[in-house]
Structure formats: structure tokens, C-alpha cells
Structure 1
Amino acid sequence: MTMQTAEPGTETSFVTAGRKGRRRRDRSVDPIPWWLAVVGVLVAGYFILPTLFVIPMSFGSSGSFQFPPKEWSLDLYRNFFTNPKWIGSLGNSLLVAVLASILATIVGTAAALGLHNLTGRVSQFVRTLLMISMVTPAIVVAIAVYISFLQWHLVGSIGGYVLAHAAIGVPFVLVSVTSALGGFDAKLLRASASLGASPVRTFIRVTLPLISRGVFTGAVFAFVTSLDEVVIALFLRSPFFQTLPVQMYTAVTVEVDPTIAAASSLVVVTVTLLLLIPMLVRRPKRR
């Protein structure tokens, strides 16, 4: 039985040929085509362009809208924080957004946990029912809310704002918590029960820490959605209670108030920072 030995340069040539072939395959597969990158840049520029005009205008004088401003000042911001009309509407928006996000987080988390253990058409039907407010046009939701709340005497009340804004925030919490439950191991629940822990203690000590990032992300999105909502707020507003988006809408349609530039800049910056928080929050790496 004879053994054939490869020449010294044969193995190297095979390795080199394999690397060349791998490079050719890698180059031929482009996950992001150049035209898609160009379209993405154009779309991003289209959305960012208004902000590039509004923020500089917010540092102009309080007389009128000017771009670029002839004089740089903080008059519009000073007027925003000293005018009871603007600062009052900001306080109303923050109050409603906090309460609505808390309620939406509780309901959305409970729904996600309940639907996680269900299968079949019942689970799909309930999930679709909870997601209706996300895909339904805002004007349709606003009309339905107004007709219902008018009969329940909730129009113009804080409770009406909170219930309506929580309803449109629940789908965001449901999606976020459901995604977090995708990697959840049910054996941990059985292990906790075998050690004598009650269901409430198991949820607080086992389930909630593992899905906390999804819950937090959903709460942030629910808060931002409530803070930015204007269509439903227009139907529910009253002379004694209105939110910041409604005040901004009034400043454009009813009266020409340049303070809206400062209000818009503050809302854009606040919403952007809040949306970046879930992206910056990371779980600690396991050692």
C-alpha cells in the first residue's frame, strides 16, 4: 500500500484558491444595495429637513417667523416658559402622558403574558383586537372615542385623556413585551414554584427582571405616543384643559404665534432623546 504525498506548494494553493473563492462569494452578495442606501439617505433627509429649519427659527426674535433669524435670542423660549397658556398645556401633556403610559404598560404587559401561553385562533383574534388602534386611522379612532366618551361624560376630563391615550399606547407595549418573551424559558417558572414561591413573587423576582427591557421600551413608546398625540386631543379638549399639541395646533391655525418654534424644538429634542434611551439601555454581559 503506497501513500501519496502532496507537493509542498499544493496545500498552500488550495488554501489560496479557497480564500479567493470565498472573497468572490462575499463580494457578489451585497446585503444593502447602493440604490437602497441612497433612498434611505433621501428619506432620512426629508424627515430631518423641517427640523433644520425649525430649530434655528426658535432662536429668533418674538416678532415673526424668520429663517435665518436676523437676531439670535432666547425670547421665544422665555415666552414659552413664562406664558401660562404654554406652560400650562405642557404640564397637562406631561400629566396625561405619565398616567397613560403607566396604564398602557400595565395592560399591555398583562395582555402579553396572557397571550404568551395561548395558542390557536383565540390568541390571534385577541392579539389582532388589541392591535387595531395601531393600524386604524387616527381620525376614525378619534370619532369613535368622542362618541363613546360623550355618553360617558368623559370629554374634556383628565380621565378621558388618559383612557384614550392609554388605548393607543397598549399595542406598543404589547409588541415590545411579546418580543421580550420570545427568549423566555418557562422552566424558570416551574423551578420558582417548586421552591415555594407564590405567583406574585415569581413574577416580581423572575419574570419581570427578564422582560424588564421590553416593558421599559414599551412604556417609553407609550409615553412618546401620548405626548405627541393631537387628533384625539382635539376632539376631547375643553376650554379648561388642553394639551401641548392642541396648543401648538391652535398657534398655527387660529393665531400666528412664533412661540410654536420653541415648543416644536423642545418636543422634537425630548422625543428624540426618549426614543434613544431604549437603544442605549443594554443588559449587563454575563461573565
Structure 2
Amino acid sequence: MTSPYLSPIERLWFYTLRILCGLILLFLILPVLVIIPLSFNSGSFLVYPLQGFSLHWYQDFFGSAEWMRALRNSVIIAPAATVVAMIFGTLAAIGLTRGDFPGKSLVMALVISPMVVPVVIIGVASYLFFAPLGMGNSFLSLIVVHAVLGVPFVIITVSATLQGFNHNLVRAAASLGASPLTTFRRVTLPLIAPGVISGALFAFATSFDEVVVTLFLAGPEQATLPRQMFSGIRENLSPTIAAAATLLIVFSVLLLLVLEWLRGRGEKLRTVAVQ
């Protein structure tokens, strides 16, 4: 609601700004929303107007061996990469937040560099590294590189959570005889859990949606869902791709809802810890 003390010009500027933000948001989200009705089109082409309502393309998606193999590969690679990224990212965030050593800024820049370096460079470098080892077409190489791409998200979210962490709780646990491992497991980890889980969800989304590195490292048997979509766009533009894209959109929305819930939970935990 607007304040009753705003002048007419300020009120006009307030509503203009809100309308402008709404139009920008609509411009950004409209291309995503356009693809959803096409996945229910009974026609064989991705065109408007729709020729009718049908679930044929979803049946084609779930009945195709290639699409199911790609989905299975994504379900294998993304969770594995998420676990690796969550473990190393959490430990790195704790060390960088609590530690004070020479070159700390340089180390921080290095660990978050995968967010800055173009993905195609990471893909080429990964291929040149794994190919001589005979791991160019393997799940292990994909999991390792996807984890590297996800680690920065975990570090950032966990570091942000640790900024409001009450270190007196750790000192209290130590004074009561708790070992460092017990203190971490029963005091630190429960309090930073929203940040850890949020970072893990970002890492999962990054891995699940990644296609550039997969093009360099994956063979036909390791093709993920995004790569299968990319191949389908190049070879045969089928509405099945629209069905796959719609499923990914729904999945992404669910992730965002979980992240918002975790953000609210993190705020409550920090408030309780301060009190």
C-alpha cells in the first residue's frame, strides 16, 4: 500500500515504477510460459494457434527409450554431483569464514571462479584433462565437473548463513566437553542447514540443467536430459521437446518454492539463535 503522505508526483512515480517492474518481469517470463501450451498441442509442429488438446507428446516422452535414458542419466549425475558439491562447498565455506590466513581472498576467488569462467572454457579444459586418462565418456568425469560447477553456490549460501552465526554456541559446546566433530554435527550443522540445503538445491539445478560441459564429456550412453533436448532441436524439432521443457519448468518452480521455504526457516533459526 502507498503512504497517504505521498505527494501526487511521488504517488505517480510509485505506480509507474511498479508497472515498469511488472512489464520487465512479464518480458522475462513470457518466453518460458509460451512453451507450456505447445506441449499440449495435438499438432506435430510448434506453432500457434493450437490445433487441439492432447497428451500425446507426454506419452511419447515417457514411452521413448532415448528420453528415459537421458532422464535416468540426469537423475544419476545431478544428485551425485550435488552431494559432492555440498560436502566440499560446506567445508570450504566454514574454513574461509572462520580462518584468517594469507591469500584468503585469492583462495576465495579461485573456488568461486567456475561461476565467472565461461562454461565452454570449462568444458574444453575438462575434456583435455579427462580424455588422456580415458575418462572422456564416463559418469565419473561428468559428476566431478558438475560438482565443480556447483561448489561456488554452496560456498556463497553457506558463507552468507555463517555471517549471522553465533560463535558463542560453539564455545559453549566446547566448554561442556564436546569434541569438534560433535559440536559441528549437533550445533553448527543444524543452524547452517538452511544455507547448506539452499546451496545444494542451486548445485542440483546447475547440474541438472547443464549442457555445454556434457557436450564435451558425455557419450551417447551418458547423454543427459538437456543434451537430449539440444540434440532434438538440432535434428528433429518435435513437440516432445516442449513436453520435456514443461516438466523442467515445473521442476524448477518446485525448487524455487523449496528455496523460499528454506529462506524463511533460516531467518527464524537465526532469530532464535540471537535471542
TM-score (norm 1): 0.85
Question: Residue 50 of structure 1 aligns to which amino acid in structure 2?
Answer: P
Kept after mapping to 2: 8 A contact 1:97/1:223: yes
| Structure 2 equivalent of residue 75 of structure 1 | 56
Report the CA distance shift for 1:182/1:259 in structure 2 as closer, same or farther (over 3 A). same
Please give the residue correspondences for 1:98-117 in structure 2 after superposition, counting only pairs within 5 Å: 98-117=79-98
Q: Which moved more, 1:266-275 or 1:164-173?
A: 266-275
| Structure 2 equivalent of residue 10 of structure 1 | none
Find the residue that maps to 1:71 and give its secondary structure: coil
Separation in structure 2 between the aligned mates of residue 107 and residue 50 of structure 1, nearest angstrom: 36
Question: Residue 128 of structure 1 aligns to which amino acid in structure 2?
Answer: A
- Aligned with 1:94 (options 75, 79, 84): 75
| Structure 2 equivalent of residue 276 of structure 1 | 257
| Structure 1 equivalent of residue 44 of structure 2 | 63
Question: Residue 224 of structure 2 aligns to which amino acid in structure 1?
Answer: T
For residues 212-239 of structure 1, the C-alpha deviation after alignment (integer angstroms, 9 at most, x for no partner) is 0000100000000101111111111202
Structure 1 stretches of at least 4 aligned residues deviating more than 3 Å after TM superposition: 22-30, 32-39, 284-287
Find the residue that maps to 2:41 and give its secondary structure: coil
1:158 pairs with 2:148 = no
The higher radius of gyration belongs to 1
Find the residue that maps to 1:114 and give its secondary structure: helix
Question: Residue 51 of structure 1 aligns to which amino acid in structure 2?
Answer: V
Displacement of 1:141:
1.3
Separation in structure 1 between the aligned mates of residue 16 and residue 125 of structure 2, nearest angstrom: 42
Kept after mapping to 2: 8 A contact 1:109/1:173: yes
| Structure 1 equivalent of residue 33 of structure 2 | 52
Report the CA distance shift for 1:25/1:144 in structure 2 as closer, same or farther (over 3 A). same
1:196 pairs with 2:177 = yes
Displacement of 1:121:
4.6
Separation in structure 2 between the aligned mates of residue 145 and residue 26 of structure 1, nearest angstrom: 59
| Structure 1 equivalent of residue 109 of structure 2 | 128
TM-score (norm 2): 0.89
1:148 pairs with 2:125 = no
Please give the residue correspondences for 1:150-189 in structure 2 after superposition, counting only pairs within 5 Å: 150-189=131-170
Question: Residue 159 of structure 1 aligns to which amino acid in structure 2?
Answer: L
1:250 pairs with 2:252 = no
Report the CA distance shift for 1:28/1:131 in structure 2 as closer, same or farther (over 3 A). farther
Separation in structure 2 between the aligned mates of residue 27 and residue 148 of structure 1, nearest angstrom: 63
Displacement of 1:268:
1.1
Count of residue correspondences: 265
Kept after mapping to 1: 8 A contact 2:43/2:51: no
Q: Which moved more, 1:147-156 or 1:72-81?
A: 147-156
Separation in structure 2 between the aligned mates of residue 251 and residue 142 of structure 1, nearest angstrom: 21
Separation in structure 1 between the aligned mates of residue 4 and residue 48 of structure 2, nearest angstrom: 51
Question: Residue 153 of structure 1 aligns to which amino acid in structure 2?
Answer: G
Separation in structure 2 between the aligned mates of residue 246 and residue 225 of structure 1, nearest angstrom: 14
Displacement of 1:24:
5.8
Kept after mapping to 2: 8 A contact 1:62/1:75: no
Q: Which runs of 5+ in 2 are unaligned?
A: none
Find the residue that maps to 1:240 and give its secondary structure: helix
Separation in structure 2 between the aligned mates of residue 110 and residue 55 of structure 1, nearest angstrom: 40
Question: Residue 51 of structure 2 aligns to which amino acid in structure 1?
Answer: K
1:234 pairs with 2:210 = no
Report the CA distance shift for 1:75/1:189 in structure 2 as closer, same or farther (over 3 A). same
Displacement of 1:48:
1.2
Separation in structure 2 between the aligned mates of residue 122 and residue 204 of structure 1, nearest angstrom: 29
